[in-house]
Each structure stands twice: as C-alpha cells, then as structure tokens.
Amino acid sequence: MKRAIALLCLALTACTTPGPTSDGFELVFADDFDRTELGDKFTAYSGQPGGDPYSRWHPDHVKVRDGKLVLEGYRRDGAWTTGGVSNWPVTQTYGRWEVRFRADPSDEITYHFLLWPQREQWPPEIDFAEDFGGDRRGLAAFLHWKEDGENRKQQRDLKDVDFTQWHTVGVEWTPGEVRFLLDGEEWDRITGDVVPDEPMWLGLQAQSGGCQRKRDFGFPDCPIVGVPERADVEIDRVSVYRKLLS
C-alpha cells in the first residue's frame, strides 16, 4: 500500500488518496523513494547557496538508494560540497509538510528543511528543521518576514532529541499560524500577522560551513563532535497535505 500511494502521488499534481484526515487535511503528495532516480517532482541544487559563502551544492551529492533520498556531504575537488533538492512542483498556500529523516553527526555539515516562496523573493521563509552542525541533539525553527522595510525573524529551539535516529519533523501552516511538529505532535508555534499567506514549496538542503556559521551566529564554537570525512542526511519519506479550508 505504501508503494502504491507513493506512485500515485508522484504521477499526479493532486493526490486524493487516502482522502481527508480527521483534522481537515488531505494528502496531495507522498514519496518514499522506492526507486533509483530522483524523479520529476524534485530538482537537485547546483552552485553556491544564496547568502552562504561557506557552502556549495552539486547534483552528484543527491542520491536515491535503498528506499531513501540521501544528501551527501564530503569534500569534492578539495572543497566541502553537499546535496540539496527542491520540491517546487508541489507548491501551495497553507498545508502540512512532514519529513522522516536522520543525520550523521558532523561539526561541518548542516541541514535545513524549509518552505520557500514561489515568487523567489525572500523573505518570507519558514524553516521547520535546521541544525548548524554538531551532535544532532536538537534543532531550531525560524520564521522570516519583512516589516517596515526590515528583515525580521522569530526562532524556536527544540532540545534533547537525537536526530541521528529516525524522526519525523513537520510544519503545519494555516492562516495566521505556524505549528512545528515532531513525530506528529506540536512542539512550538508562531502566530500573528507575521505568518506568510503566499504560495511556497519545500526545500531539503544539506550545507557545509557549520563551524563558521556557529561563529557568525554566536553559538558555541567547534569542536563538538569533530569533522568526519563524510556526513549524510537521509530522508525516508516526504508527505505534503493541503488544508481543507471551510
């Protein structure tokens, strides 16, 4: 059944299987990566991330194997390089996004799961799972918006959860509210008119430069766990739901 739902949802822009949930959402996309190719609902990144001078992406660092999407992090031509993908064909205003994943420990390799505006003008941005390197014992969530010409943000922190083990993180976005989820349960929220109301799509990104970022943001400096030659972010499943608004 899991494979059948994933194949149906990959083939359709709107997936109505298995139907509305009890809390008023409907599955529109699901992928358990039970294949060897990335597929047409994801696009691999290439080049340097905007606003991040410490990192670069290469499509060869995105793999689909053993039922997982793998964002690989290792040195390529002497420079730390990682994988990242966008799910831009599945763009919507409001809904719920869930990602089952784990990450290898590394001071160098970071990860970022986010919603990005379809119009490609930042902000807004909803980051529902970000880790800036280390032992993966927690993560942060952010909401970015513009107010009075200034870029602003709110941050929420989740601690004492081991993300080297499999967990499902998510975000539930409805008018005036963003709820951050862990294994199906809310762990924090942001409300008010700072919440965006425009179409957005899912990005799944590994990046490098964790130690430099820690210094930039005033976090505890490295070393924490050290820098292995390779650190991957593994994603087992992605699910996207739309909100059935009354």
Tokens of 198: 């425009």
pLDDT of residue 39: 96
Average pLDDT, the chain: 92
pLDDT band at 208 (very low <50, low <70, confident <90, very high): very high
The pTM for the full model equals 0.91
Summarize pLDDT for 31-81 with one digit per residue, the tens. 999 999 999 999 999 999 988 899 999 999 999 999 999 999 999 999 999
Of all helices (H) and strands (E), which one includes residue 189? strand 185-191
Q: Is the model's pLDDT at 14 over the cut of 50? A: no
pLDDT digits (tens, 9 = 90+) for 107-146: 999 999 999 999 999 999 999 999 999 999 999 999 999 9
Distance, CA of 138 to CA of 157 (rounded, Å) = 8
Q: Are 80 and 108 in contact (CB under 8 A)?
A: yes
- pLDDT reported for residue 209: 95
β-pair type (200-207, 84-86): antiparallel
